[in-house]
């Protein structure tokens, strides 16, 4: 026979407090003053009794479902972007909500079905997320629906969370300049068409703008910009091979993402060019494989988990027009070779870089 489910009254009785006090402590109500001992007794009673709050009753009291819809293209099944969901789940749990995740594969018909499914469950709001930051189509919604765009933009909805790509681009340049690089720096992967197409990327233009602006403000000049359509290892390999075989004095590669950098490493290795000694490489994303390259790849991290958390915060706060840009931390490893770190330009770049957060590895 199943044991009786513990109630709030049972928790209060075991903890030696009133049911009201137990409720206020467990719900984390602001402006309440209870002793640390009272908090300890209540939480110990919860653990001892296996108490779980009645979410249905709480939803009726608050007129909220305590459920968030999370509709994505391929985020849920993509290893690299899974941090978006992880951050959203953690923040929702902290706020006493659950997340209903639906994946559409980018199919407009499935997007309409997904919206209908979450609205049928009377969710408190919807987070729309994409693996690649881009302009996203959103099916028609009731005017009262709270919406936040995560790693995406939409002209109809103002609330969005994106990585601060311009700042990230500046950080990449500062890393090279702080090591003393002033000449022979090549940008790998720039593409004007992708920058202009918001449905392919809503942030690439900002990343490139950050790179170019920081070069200009430091008084530096790119030696070349090598273009490709897809940021994949094979293109990084081909572009780097062409640059190295061109006969110029190439001292550093600034790759538009880690996958391009993976290919660049291979091209360097085949030619006996040692990364971190003969040439420097810096890139973006902090793909988990970046730490396993030898030497480890210095990169600018996409802050997916923090973005997911911030999206849920905005949604539950009812923000309808807030636009959040999340810092892209620097992850320093060993792929940058020191050139002249004591030069005036290097010191200036180091000072600018110091203002940005770093992630320990």
What is residue 132's predicted lDDT score, i.e. its pLDDT?
83
With H, G, I as helix, E, B as strand and everything else as coil, classify residue 329: coil
CATH of domain 64-163: 3.40.50.2300
- Give the pLDDT band of residue 131 (cuts 50, 70, 90): confident
Q: Which CATH topology does 165-302+328-354 take?
A: Rossmann fold (3.40.50)
What is residue 193's predicted lDDT score, i.e. its pLDDT?
73
Let me know if 301 is exposed, middle or buried by CB neighbors in 10 A (0-12, 13-18, 19+). buried
CA pseudo-torsion sign 135, 137, 138, 143: positive
CA separation for the pair 66, 51 (Å, rounded): 18
Q: Do domains 8-53 and 64-163 have the same CATH topology?
A: no
What is residue 247's predicted lDDT score, i.e. its pLDDT?
86
- pLDDT per residue over 5-30, tens digit each? 788 899 999 999 998 898 888 876 65
- pLDDT per residue over 140-173, tens digit each? 888 889 999 999 988 888 799 999 999 999 999 9
Give the homologous superfamily in CATH for domain 8-53.
Answer: lambda repressor-like DNA-binding domains (1.10.260.40)
- For residue 223, give the DSSP letter: S
Say if pTM beats, i.e. exceeds, 0.85.
no
Domain boundaries, the chain: 8-53, 64-163, 165-302+328-354
- Give the pLDDT band of residue 123 (cuts 50, 70, 90): very high
Q: Shortest CA distance to 169 belongs to which of 135, 130, 216?
A: 216
Q: Which residues are bridge partners to 299 per DSSP?
A: 283, 331
CA separation for the pair 168, 289 (Å, rounded): 20
- Give the pLDDT band of residue 360 (cuts 50, 70, 90): very low
- pLDDT per residue over 273-299, tens digit each? 999 999 999 999 999 899 999 999 999
């Amino acid at each position: 026979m199943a044991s009786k489910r513990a109630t709030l009254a049972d928790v209060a009785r075991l903890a030696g407090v009133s049911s009201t006090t137990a409720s206020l402590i467990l719900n984390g109500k602001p402006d309440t003053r209870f002793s640390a001992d009272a908090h300890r007794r209540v939480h110990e009673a919860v653990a001892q009794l296996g108490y779980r709050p009645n979410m249905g009753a709480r939803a009726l009291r608050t007129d909220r479902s305590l459920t968030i819809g999370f509709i994505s293209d391929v985020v849920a099944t993509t290893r690299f972007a899974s941090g978006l969901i992880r951050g959203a789940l953690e923040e929702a749990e902290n706020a006493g909500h659950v997340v209903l995740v639906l994946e559409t594969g980018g199919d407009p018909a499935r997007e309409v079905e997904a919206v209908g499914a979450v609205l049928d469950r009377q969710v408190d709001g919807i987070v729309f997320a994409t693996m690649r930051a881009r302009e996203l189509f959103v099916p028609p919604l009731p005017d009262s629906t709270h919406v936040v765009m995560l790693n995406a933009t939409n002209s109809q909805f103002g609330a969005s969370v994106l990585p601060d790509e311009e700042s990230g681009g500046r950080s990449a340049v500062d890393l090279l300049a702080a090591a003393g690089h002033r000449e022979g720096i090549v940008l790998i992967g720039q593409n004007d068409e992708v920058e202009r197409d918001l449905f392919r990327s809503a942030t690439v233009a900002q990343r490139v703008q950050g790179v170019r602006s920081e070069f200009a403000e430091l008084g530096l000049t790119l030696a070349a910009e090598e273009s490709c359509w897809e940021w994949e290892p094979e293109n990084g390999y081909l572009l780097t091979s062409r640059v190295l075989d061109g006969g110029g004095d190439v001292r550093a590669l600034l790759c538009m993402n880690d996958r391009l950098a993976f290919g660049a490493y291979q091209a360097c290795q085949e030619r006996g060019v040692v990364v971190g000694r003969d040439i420097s490489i810096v890139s973006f994303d902090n793909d988990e494989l970046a730490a396993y390259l030898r030497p480890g790849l210095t990169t600018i991290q996409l802050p997916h988990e923090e973005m997911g958390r911030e999206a849920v915060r905005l949604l539950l706060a009812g923000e309808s027009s807030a636009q959040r840009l999340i810092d892209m931390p620097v992850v320093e490893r060993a792929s940058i070779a020191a050139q002249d770190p004591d030069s005036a330009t290097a010191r200036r770049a180091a000072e600018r870089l110091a203002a940005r957060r770093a992630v320990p590895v």
